[in-house]
Amino acid sequence: MIGSIIPHQHVYIYGAGFAGLSLGHQLKKLGIPFTIYEKEKVGGKISTRMTAFGPIEAAASTLYMNAHAEEFIKEMEIPYLNSEKKLKRWIWRKEKLLSPLNFKLALKLLFKAAIRVPSITENSSVEDIFLPLLGRRYVDELLSPALQGIHAAEARDLHFLSLFPFAQNRSYASYFSFFKSLKKEMKKHAAVGIKGSVSFPGGMQSLINKLHEEVSSHIEPLPETFVLRPNTVICTSAPDAAKLLEKVLPEISLKLKEIEYRPISNLSFYLKEELPSLKKSFGMLIPQKYGSPILGIIHQSAVFPSNYSNHCYSVICKGITSEDEIFQELKTKVPGFQKDNILVHSLTAWKTGLPLYDEKRFQTVEKLKQLLKDKPGLMFFGNYTEGISLRSMIEQTRKL
């Protein structure tokens, strides 16, 4: 979250996406009065279309656990589904599906773990820090694909301190000591009872519906004219927040416009026959060095089998990508894929898909923090403020 609210006073929330709903949940828990304004659809990008074969997710399909997310799920008293364990993960490389881990990589990590981590500065990219450890090949074919599955961006584009904020103002004598610190940080907030990732019977819409039900009496239509009241929290994307503030706070509006978003397309489909190459797998990632629009494929019905009666897959692509382009790519990248095997499919695309966690976003957020120091009662909250995942947003609400 960027900015602050005045304690124990009525809070006005703009946007009923996951950020606005989860904030409303926390305010209700704390006994703080609030109103949520929404102009279109409760839930934002997260939605589930039900088919005769099971759910099709438009966006996020899982909630990754830590202690904060676990507490949140228990408070909601909502049934959940644990993800299947021990599923294979694949990387597409040179017309083959390969395991991301191999003996050669293990040896490289073992022998290079003792070398010093490069100096971490506010300009460091993830690639800058991990290139000496992994080398060019594994940065492009392992690290970047793993990151693009979460951030839709490669290691060279991602700002190191935005992804690893605990490393601020620290230096590491070795990669071993860095990973030890990372493990310690993760252990601090580790889930106890609900581990891994979860979904819900009927898909992620079930979570949205539960949150909506809990705060429904606080939701009102967005007024035609925006009025900046004391204790306003804007829970929209940065571009939408900028539009709201164009006339009342132009300097802050201009800063918000500087945050870049990556367009994303998501094609989900059911097949009559399972893809043999992705059997018993979480899915596959495609390194962007090969020029494919596809970032990754999730085998949804393998991850949460009880939610599906047929074989379901989601293809996440960079940019606004057409169905025909995605189907053509699938034919060349996934052995056994045939378009006439599809039972039902759905394509969703967003021009403002995911915020880019680059150095510019980091510097813009720091500048916004400075601008808001003398403006108590104004806050920004979303997946661009301090963590891109649903889990991160839950964690931010716990800081109130």
Compute the distance between CA of residue 162 and CA of residue 60 in angstroms, rounded to an integer.
21
Residue with tokens 């306003």: 232
Q: How confident is the model at residue 210 (pLDDT cuts 50, 70, 90)?
A: very high
pLDDT of residue 102: 84
pLDDT of residue 236: 97
Per-residue model confidence as pLDDT tens digits over 321-334? 999 999 999 999 99
Per-residue model confidence as pLDDT tens digits over 257-295? 999 999 999 999 999 999 999 999 999 999 999 999 999
**Single pTM value for the model:** 0.95
Q: How confident is the model at residue 130 (pLDDT cuts 50, 70, 90)?
A: very high
Mean pLDDT value of segment 101-114: 89
pLDDT of residue 390: 97
Query: Residue 249: is its pLDDT beyond 90?
Result: yes
What is the domain class of 114-188 according to CATH? mainly alpha
β-bridge mates for residue 389, sequence order: none
| Mean pLDDT of the chain, nearest integer | 96
β-bridge mates for residue 12, sequence order: 35, 232
pLDDT of residue 172: 97
Domain topology for 261-354? Polyamine Oxidase; Chain A, domain 2 (3.90.660)
Mean pLDDT value of segment 98-111: 89
Per-residue model confidence as pLDDT tens digits over 44-96? 999 999 999 999 999 999 999 999 999 999 999 999 999 999 999 999 988 88
Mean pLDDT value of segment 363-369: 97
> What DSSP string runs through 358-397?
SHHHHHHHHHHHHHTTT-TTEEE-STTTS-SSHHHHHHHH
pLDDT of residue 101: 83
pLDDT of residue 116: 97
Delimit the domains of the chain by residue range. 2-46+61-81+196-259+357-397, 114-188, 261-354
Compute the distance between CA of residue 223 and CA of residue 37 in angstroms, rounded to an integer.
8
pLDDT of residue 104: 86
Compute the distance between CA of residue 146 and CA of residue 268 in angstroms, rounded to an integer.
20
Q: Which CATH number fits domain 2-46+61-81+196-259+357-397: 2.120.10.10, 3.30.470.20, 3.40.50.300, 3.50.50.60?
A: 3.50.50.60
